[in-house]
């Protein structure tokens, strides 16, 4: 009797406490600087979460270590649903090159929310019409064309299949400081081509200061309908998207995860939210949770592992 | 010219809407408060304000953020002058002469010089920004990794050769700064270095906690140790209008110094990643080396204040050049400003001139009037600043310490950074007792990584060849300039030993 009563009480307590989630602001860690593509997206989502559910997202930027510093803060946070990480494929690249000692399975994956595409860009005066031309050129003239990437970051993984297709004919050229740095270097002639987040590249593509060679997505991008996908150019391996997802610390109760994920799902169904994400961050809603999300994470992780080994990055 | 006319007509009419004018005042004041409190910086002032701009009209948001930027960089001279603590990294060298001058009972004049120099550097920076932004930004694109490397070498040589004092101590300081800067992820391969398996160190040591630790904490301890009841004596006069005019007169007498410091600040500002902390150190060093009385620097002469404050405000105009013309941030604050702009759906860069020209002119006008507002607010409020800093030290010092800790925490939201600040506070205190200069540590910490990262990036592009350092004309020119400055520095240091920089 006593035991049963205790269990009932506990269950009741658990239900009540979960029903009450969230009772205060939820700290959302963005592991990149304020104003970057990641940051802008989550702030838009936060706005609609507030509108729809009245929840407060406290967006906190913790930069450094290619995102791993911020991720680490969530890794060691209390698993109570009040500290959430907003992260993307860097979780795989950081793990496989050794910048971070943790992978997606060290967290509780909550849901995938948005997708942004990557686009390979060059200067308008280069002779190539698309990525295939550039690769052929590098094959014929090895050691002449400078292919830019941030070593160890996702952009590096994106150039590995290009380098393999070109029989290592490109000069792998390092940048630091993300997309803007590579855009500057390409415009200044210090680098010839590189994969860039669409959100960073679009203004320069529109103004004609950069030229797009390929989009690294499975389908053509709604913002660049005339640019071929890598797949269409016969580069099957070169499908890389940037998917923004929520993670909670390992051991977060399932109820909380479900409550949070379902709120995000409903917010992403709002047309205003989707429009604002498109307009300000060139991203589209791309919701996935549960088993489906885990399968996707596993598939991506295996790919990053394979490329890291192929390029000798694995420590 | 056309841009200038449009700035005046389109931009100014936007600024003079009551709400925007009010926001400009609020922004500049907010910035000056952030700048004046050690540890709180312009970067943090802007970052904290961004959420408030969400629901504003684009132009209003931009005006507020621009105002904070201007106020934030300017405010740093207040605490440098009165407390001998650089309010922001951009006013390190302001301490050297402004504080001694203030100690001599000339606080009013020292503050007036800081204020007027800031105004001069700021307003001239805006004029250069408006008339030359697009041209300068294109020219800056020609700077590749090798040129950045040579530029960093030049800055490094120029500054370190001008360091007076004990050569051995300077060298040890430089080595220490370089070692500290190596902690964290390798800039090219991201592999952790010198972290001793301590994951907190993987993202390295941040400049702000280090700076606050080395400069402010020892000063706080020294203030505790001193007999005086107040750090800033109550009877320290406020700033009079006559002193502002006097400051203006001194500045125009030293127009050579002012213009040179402006050029250094503006040019350094244009190059992404180098920033205000470097520009004030370099222009202070140059001012000293071209002075007939280098030995007087560090004793409280106007020359040093002018050099430091003109250049750090000039670098605002410089840093706005690549931001507005290309969408590339020139320093930490403009990186956050870029974020603020993007939240309003504005992509700075060539497209902004095409699609939102009114916003560009709005930003220009906000920059221009922001400087005027800064001067006015400075004159009006300086008495209040002095008053609030002349509280008995048992109230003031804990408050400053807390603000410094909040500032160290705030930029990255990590408790770890507060520990960094405290540890380097102790280190700074010990160094001070040993009469060991901390400036070489900071210089090496700031410039070392720029040189390393760019050299290694360059080497990947040249497939391992060092030749481009000498064969690229711009790079070679910078190296020759470095050699020249080195010789100049050594000659001058001999002439006037014992100074701080």
pLDDT digits (tens, 9 = 90+) for A65-114: 788 889 999 999 999 999 999 999 999 999 998 888 899 999 999 999 99
Distance from CA of A218 to the nearest CA of B (A): 27
Average pLDDT over residues A161-173: 95
Q: In percent, how much of chain A has pLDDT > 70? A: 93
Minimum distance, in Å, between the CA of residue B328 and any CA atom of chain A: 7
The CA distance from A96 to A103, in Å, is 9
Contact A188 B187 (CB under 8 A): no
- The verdict on a CB contact (< 8 Å) between A43 and B343 is yes
Nearest CA in chain A to B339: A35
d(C-alpha B174, C-alpha B188), whole Å: 22
Q: The tokens 């020249």 sit on which residue? A: B484
Q: Do A151 and B188 touch (CB under 8 A)?
A: yes
Of residues B293 and A17, the one with the higher pLDDT is B293
CB of A123 closer than 8 Å to CB of A211: yes
Would you tell me which residues 257-276 of chain B have a C-beta closer than 8 angstroms to some C-beta of chain A?
A: 272-273
Task: Tell me the shortest Cα–Cα distance from A194 to chain B, in angstroms.
Answer: 13
> DSSP alpha helices (H): ranges in B162-274?
167-182, 207-211, 217-225, 241-253, 255-270
Q: Residues of A numbered 208-227 whose beta carbons fall under 8 angstroms of chain B's beta carbons: which are they?
A: 209
CB contact under 8 A, B190 and A66: yes
Q: Tell me, what's the pLDDT at B300? A: 92
Which residues of B99-176 form beta strands (DSSP E)? none
Asked if A40 lies within 8 A of B343 by C-beta distance, the reply is yes
Percent of chain A with pLDDT over 90: 72
Of all residues in chain A, the one with the smallest CA distance to B48 is A34
Q: Select from A101, A146, A153 the Cβ nearest to the Cβ of B461.
A: A146
pLDDT-derived band at A281, boundaries 50, 70, 90: confident
Given a contact cutoff of 8 angstroms between Cβ atoms, the answer to whether A31 and A68 are in contact is yes
Residue B500's pLDDT is what? Answer: 47
In chain A, residues with a C-beta closer than 8 Å to the C-beta of B141 are: 184, 187-189
| Binary contact (B457, A176; C-beta < 8 A) | yes
Q: Do B144 and A189 touch (CB under 8 A)?
A: yes
pLDDT band at A138 (very low <50, low <70, confident <90, very high): very high
**Stretch 217-276 of chain A: residues touching chain B, C-beta under 8 Å:** none
pLDDT at residue B420, as a whole number: 95
Whether A291 shows a pLDDT value over 50: the answer reads yes
The reported pLDDT for the residue numbered B55 is 78
Show residues of chain B in contact with A63, CB under 8 Å: 203, 412
| Beta carbons of A151 and B190 less than 8 Å apart | yes
B336, B343, B347 ranked by CB distance to A203: nearest: B347
Is the CB of B336 less than 8 angstroms away from the CB of A173?
no
Q: Pick from A98, A190, A280: which is nearest to B461 by CB?
A: A190
CB contact under 8 A, A152 and B192: no
For residue A59, give the chain B residue with the closest CA.
B51
Average per-residue pLDDT in chain A? 91
Q: What is the pLDDT of residue B498?
A: 47
| Banded pLDDT at A19 (limits 50, 70, 90) | low
With CA atoms as reference, report the closest residue to B94 among B358, B286, B283, B243: B283
Using CA coordinates, name the residue in chain A closest to B147.
A190
CB interface of B with A, residues 459-478, below 8 Å: 460-461, 463
Cβ-defined contact of B412 to A143 (cutoff 8 Å): no
B460–A171: do the CB atoms touch at under 8 Å?
yes
pLDDT of residue A240: 95
How are beta strands A283-289 and A107-122 bridged, if at all?
Answer: antiparallel
Q: A312: how many CB neighbours lie within 10 A of its CB?
A: 7
DSSP SS3 for B297: coil
Find chain A residues with C-beta within 8 A of B335's C-beta.
Answer: 33, 35
- Measured between beta carbons, the chain A residues lying within 8 angstroms of B349 are 203-204, 207
* Cα–Cα dist B108/B156, whole Å: 34
Partner A, chain B 385-444, Cβ-Cβ below 8 Å: 412-414
**Quick one: pLDDT band at residue A7, thresholds 50, 70, 90?**
low
The whole-angstrom distance between residue B32's C-alpha and the CA centroid of its chain comes to: 14
Q: Concatenated DSSP letters for chain A? A: -HHHHHHHHHHHHHHHHHHT--SSPEEEEESS-TTSHHHHHHHHHHHHHHHHH-PPEEEEE---GGGHHHHHHHHTS-SSSSEEEEE-THHHHHHHHTS-S--GGGEEEEEEEEEEEEEEEE-TTSS-SSHHHHHHHHHHSTT-SEEEE-TTSHHHHHHHHHHHHTTT-SEEEE--SHHHHHHHHHHTTS--EEEEEHHHHHHHHHTTSSEEEEE-SSS-BTTBTTSPBTTTTT-GGG--EEEEEEEEETT--HHHHHHHHHHHHHHHT-HHHHHHHHHHH-EEEEEEEHHHHHHHHHHHHHHHHHHHHHTT---
Closest among A292, A290, A303, A295 to A110, alpha carbons compared: A290
> pLDDT value at position A6?
66
Query: Which chain B residues contact residue A183 at CB under 8 A?
Result: 328
ipTM over the 0.85 cut-off:
no
Using a CB–CB cutoff of 8 Å, tell me whether B339 touches chain A: yes
The better pLDDT of the pair B185, A310 is held by A310
A156 to chain B: closest CA residue:
B189
Whether B55 contacts chain A with CB within 8 A? no
Does A177 sit within 8 Å of B191, measured CB to CB?
no
- Closest partner residue to A98 (CB to CB) among B188, B191, B335 is B191
* Any A CB within 8 A of B302 CB: no
Give CA–CA dist B198/A117, Å, rounded. 35
B152 touches chain A (CB under 8 A): no
Q: Is B335 in the A-facing interface, judged by CB distances under 8 Å?
A: yes
Q: Are B234 and B279 in contact (CB under 8 A)?
A: no
Please give the pLDDT value at position B251.
95
**Cross-chain residue pair A207–B350, CB shorter than 8 Å:** yes
Partners of A189 on chain B (C-beta within 8 Å) are 141-142, 144
Residues 2-21 of A with CB under 8 A from B: none
Q: If pLDDT is split at 50, 70 and 90, which confidence band does A314 have?
A: confident
Instruction: Average the pLDDT over each of A147-161, A226-240, B178-192 and give the range with the smallest value.
Output: B178-192
Q: Is the dihedral of CA B135, B138, B140, B142 positive or negative?
A: negative
Cβ distance A150 to A156 under 8 Å?
A: yes
Ordered per-residue pLDDT tens for chain B, 501 residues: 677 777 777 778 888 889 999 999 999 999 999 999 988 888 889 888 887 887 788 889 989 999 999 999 999 999 999 999 988 888 899 999 999 999 898 999 999 999 999 999 999 999 999 888 878 888 888 889 999 999 889 888 877 777 777 888 889 999 999 999 999 888 887 778 898 888 788 888 988 899 899 999 999 999 999 888 888 887 676 788 899 999 999 999 999 999 999 999 999 888 876 777 788 888 998 888 888 888 888 899 999 999 999 999 999 999 998 888 877 777 778 878 887 787 776 777 767 777 788 888 888 999 999 999 999 999 998 888 888 888 899 999 999 999 999 988 887 788 899 999 999 999 999 999 999 988 889 889 988 888 999 999 999 999 899 999 999 999 999 999 889 888 877 776 666 554 444
Chain B CB contacts of A185 below 8 Å: 144-145
Six token digits for residue A251: 């051991």
CA distance A71 to A29: 8
B499 touches A at CB < 8 Å: no
Residue A171: per-residue pLDDT: 96
A54: left (phi over 0), alpha (psi -120 to 50) or beta: left
| Distance of alpha carbon A68 from alpha carbon B414, whole angstroms | 13
DSSP code for B392: B
The shortest CB-CB distance from B190 to any of A43, A152, A280 is to A152
Are A280 and B47 inside 8 Å of each other by CB? Answer: no
A40, A176, A190: residue with CB nearest B342: A40
């Amino acid at each position: 009797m006593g035991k049963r009563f205790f269990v009932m009480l506990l269950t009741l307590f658990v239900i009540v406490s979960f029903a009450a989630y969230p009772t205060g602001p939820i700290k959302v860690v963005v592991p990149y600087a304020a104003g970057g593509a990641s940051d802008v997206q989550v702030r838009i989502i936060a706005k609609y979460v507030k509108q729809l559910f009245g929840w407060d997202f406290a967006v906190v930027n913790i930069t450094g270590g290619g995102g791993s510093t911020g991720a680490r803060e969530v890794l060691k946070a209390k698993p109570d649903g009040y500290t959430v990480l907003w992260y993307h494929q860097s979780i795989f690249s950081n793990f496989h090159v050794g910048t971070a000692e943790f992978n997606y399975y060290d967290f509780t994956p909550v849901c995938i929310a948005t997708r942004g595409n990557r686009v390979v860009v060059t200067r308008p005066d280069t002779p190539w019409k698309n990525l295939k031309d550039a690769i052929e050129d590098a094959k014929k003239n090895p050691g002449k064309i400078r292919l830019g990437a941030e070593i160890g970051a996702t952009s590096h993984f994106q150039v590995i299949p290009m380098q393999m297709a070109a029989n290592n004919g490109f000069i792998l050229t390092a940048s630091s400081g993300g997309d803007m740095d590579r855009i500057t270097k390409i415009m200044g002639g210090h680098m010839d081509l590189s994969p860039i987040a669409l959100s960073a590249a679009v203004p320069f593509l529109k103004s004609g200061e950069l030229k797009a060679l390929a989009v690294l997505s499975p389908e053509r991008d709604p913002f660049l309908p005339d640019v071929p996908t890598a797949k269409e150019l016969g580069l099957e391996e070169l499908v890389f998207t940037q998917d923004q997802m929520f993670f909670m610390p390992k051991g977060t109760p399932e109820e909380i995860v479900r409550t949070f994920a379902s709120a995000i799902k409903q917010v992403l169904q709002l047309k205003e939210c989707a429009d604002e994400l498109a307009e300000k961050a060139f991203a589209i809603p791309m919701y996935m949770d549960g088993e489906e999300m885990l399968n996707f994470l596993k598939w991506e992780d295996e790919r990053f592992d394979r490329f890291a080994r192929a390029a000798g990055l694995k420590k | 010219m056309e841009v200038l006319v449009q700035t005046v007509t389109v931009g100014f009419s936007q600024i003079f809407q009551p709400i925007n004018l009010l926001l400009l005042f609020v922004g500049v004041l907010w910035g000056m408060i952030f700048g004046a409190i050690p540890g709180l910086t312009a970067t943090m002032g802007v970052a904290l304000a961004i959420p408030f701009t969400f629901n504003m009209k684009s132009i209003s948001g931009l005006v507020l953020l621009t105002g904070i930027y201007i106020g934030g960089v300017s405010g740093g001279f207040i605490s440098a002058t009165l407390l001998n603590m650089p309010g922001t990294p951009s006013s390190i060298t302001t301490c050297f002469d402004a504080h001694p001058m203030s100690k001599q009972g000339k606080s009013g004049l020292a503050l007036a010089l800081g204020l007027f120099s800031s105004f001069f550097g700021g307003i001239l920076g805006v004029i250069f920004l408006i008339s030359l932004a697009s041209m300068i930004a294109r020219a800056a694109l020609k700077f590749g990794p090798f040129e950045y490397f040579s530029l960093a070498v030049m800055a490094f040589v120029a500054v370190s050769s001008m360091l007076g004092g004990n050569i051995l101590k300077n060298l040890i300081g430089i080595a220490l700064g370089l070692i500290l800067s190596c902690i964290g992820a390798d800039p090219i391969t991201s592999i952790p270095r010198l972290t001793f398996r301590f994951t907190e160190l993987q993202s390295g040591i941040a400049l702000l906690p280090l700076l606050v630790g080395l400069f402010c904490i020892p000063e706080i301890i020294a203030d505790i140790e001193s007999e005086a009841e107040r750090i800033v004596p109550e009877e320290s006069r406020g700033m009079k209008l006559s002193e502002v005019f006097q400051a203006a007169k001194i500045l125009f007498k030293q127009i050579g110094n002012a213009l040179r410091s402006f050029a250094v600040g503006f040019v350094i500002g244009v190059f992404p990643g180098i920033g205000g902390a470097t520009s004030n150190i370099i222009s202070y060093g140059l001012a000293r080396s071209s002075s007939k009385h280098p030995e007087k620097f560090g004793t409280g002469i106007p020359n040093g204040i002018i050099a430091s404050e003109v250049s750090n405000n000039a670098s605002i105009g410089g840093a706005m050049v690549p931001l507005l013309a290309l969408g590339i941030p020139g320093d930490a604050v403009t990186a956050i400003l870029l974020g603020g702009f993007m939240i309003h759906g504005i992509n700075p860069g060539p497209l902004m001139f095409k699609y939102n020209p009114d916003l560009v002119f709005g930003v220009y006008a906000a920059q221009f009037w922001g400087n005027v507002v800064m001067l006015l607010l400075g004159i009006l409020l300086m008495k209040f600043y002095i008053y609030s800093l002349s509280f008995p030290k048992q109230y003031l010092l804990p408050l400053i310490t807390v603000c410094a800790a909040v500032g160290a925490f705030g930029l990255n939201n990590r408790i770890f950074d507060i520990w960094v600040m405290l540890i380097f506070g102790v280190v700074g205190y010990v160094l001070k007792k040993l009469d060991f200069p901390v400036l070489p540590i900071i210089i090496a910490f700031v410039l070392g990584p720029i040189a390393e990262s760019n050299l290694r990036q360059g080497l990947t592009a040249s497939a391992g060849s060092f030749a481009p350092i000498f064969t690229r004309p711009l790079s070679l020119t910078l190296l020759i300039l470095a050699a020249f400055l080195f010789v100049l520095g050594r000659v001058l240091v001999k002439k006037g030993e014992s100074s701080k920089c």
